[in-house]
Structure 1
Amino acid sequence: MGGGGANPLAAAQEMLAKAQQELAATEIEGTAGGGAVKIRMSGEQKILGISIEPDVVDPGDVEMLQDLIMAAIADASERADELQAKSFGAITGGLNLPGLGLG
């Protein structure tokens, strides 16, 4: 298979690698409780940090704090999913390719 054109598969792989690097460098914030709990997450959905306002820490109601943390993680994760879909969508043509974390 000769030809002077660039390999389209190699170009797509390069674009995917660049998009993955950009996602890794992107920070997303998820919140709950009106911003009382904040989760910082990378575009790859790795938790980078947690911020909790002192007034939501009630030793008598630990369950509420747990719920707020879970809600903030879910919010950040949803935002990361949207960012991934946007970043990879143009490259994959909307296909959900295994191993890209788009599902």
Structure 2
Amino acid sequence: MCGLANDTSDSFIRVWAAETLVDLGDSRGTDLLCALAHDTSLDSSYRVEAATALADRGDPRGTGLLGELAHDTSLNAAWRGQARQTLARLSTPGLAND
């Protein structure tokens, strides 16, 4: 699984594998998600997904990364908005997740 998270050929698989590692209790997954959120070679959607996955799993780096991504003008405007919406959801108890 860790090998898939480090594979550069498919960004979706990389993020999914890192999330799966976290869900299986492997602490390497959170570091991989953090690295993926910082990876400027990834599409905006995968960077925001990696940061969201961190935040949703209680890693405090996730909200910080979402804040950075929300203001990162190198990201697609729609994904900056998604990062802002996720921050709002996380900071507002009871806000619907779907």
TM-score band by shorter chain is under 0.3
Q: Which has the higher strand share?
A: 1
Higher RCO by CA contacts (8 Å cutoff, separation 6 or greater): 1
Q: Which has the higher helix share?
A: 2
State which structure, 1 or 2, has the greater radius of gyration over its C-alpha atoms.
1
Output the TM-score relative to the length of structure 2. 0.26
